[in-house]
Amino acid sequence: MSRIIFSPRFTATQRRHLTQSFFLAALMLFLLSCGGGAMATEAPSSMATSVAPTQGVVPSTPQPSVEATTQPAIPERRLLALEFPPRIRAGDSDIVRLTLNMDDAGNITPTAVVDGNVITGEVIEIPNLYETHHVVVEASFDISGIQVSPPSLSSQTLSPGQSVMFFWSIRPVEVGVYRGTVWLFLRFVDKVSGEESRRAVSAQMVEIEAVNLFGVPARVVRAVGGVGSIVGAVIGFPFFEDIVKFLFKKRRR
Amino acid sequence: MSRRVRTLLGVLIFAMSIALLIWGLAPLRREIRIQNISPSEMQLPTPISLRSDLWVAL
């Protein structure tokens, strides 16, 4: 190459042209390299401009809701089911039941089984406080005029994947409409400091009507009904009288 | 005649007694309330929440 360039056969004009073309090629290479660099630097700038608006939008989203979801939480879902008799026979007893159900996977599934029918509700996450606190569920049934057992506050420890159930036995003595409240509290006991805090979760009004039949207590009504059905059968159905006589004779023998 | 009256009386007593037994032994209707508990209701009460309540009140 150098031998060709500096060959005595090349004239001065040819050498000048060769030099010019060389510089021209070098200039084009330089421009190309500058352009590619500019493109390379432009790409990040376009990315930056595309990212910038999203970064600007984030603070405009409601910040408190984000904080609320980042609160300590466990994947548990809970549902409160209250079961009670709105009407009860005076003198009879019945059960009031308050339940928190959970599923086998440790999630609380809002289910309640009533007469074979499964009632399912909405699932809701609750904060995970089991790691830092002992969670105690407390419940009470406050109603006047009806005998309630247990009459005071009942409490159970709430563990992950465990359901909690409260029962009250009620017995109205007299006829009337009785109104009461079923309370549910959560008591948090700090595992380290032992500090306690209590929170009322639910207060449900309950109305129970105690009835009887024309002033006759249910116990008496059942006794009269039992005796009357036997007497009525003996009087009304002659063959039934024969059956009764036959049975009594057989017993005597 | 007397036999017919007796049968009628017996059936009447029997029917009334069965009605009394049904009233006295029938299972009571039960009411079921399902209540969803929101996460905020199950959270640990903190002074921050109290302050926020105060701020809202103000």
Integer Cα distance of A40 and A61 in angstroms: 34
Is the CB of B13 less than 8 angstroms away from the CB of A236?
A: yes
Q: Are A190 and A136 in contact (CB under 8 A)?
A: no
Among all residues of chain A, which has the CA nearest to that of B21? A225
Is the CB of B34 less than 8 angstroms away from the CB of A226?
A: no
pTM: 0.60
Query: How would residue A239 be classed by pLDDT, with cut points 50, 70 and 90?
Result: confident
Nearest to A226 by CA among B23, B33, B32: B23
Cβ contacts of A197 within 8 Å, gap of 6 or more: A187, A188, B44, B45
Residue A215: φ, ψ to 5°: 80, 0
Task: List, for residues A130-169, the tens digit of each pLDDT value.
Answer: 778 888 999 999 999 999 999 989 999 988 777 899 999 9
Tell me the ipTM for this assembly: 0.70
The secondary structure of A158-198 as a DSSP string is: E-TT--EEEEEEEEE-SSEEEEEEEEEEEEEEETTT--EEE
Number of helices (H), then strands (E), in chain B: 2, 1
Among all residues of chain A, which has the CA nearest to that of B29? A85
Number of helices (H), then strands (E), in chain A: 5, 13
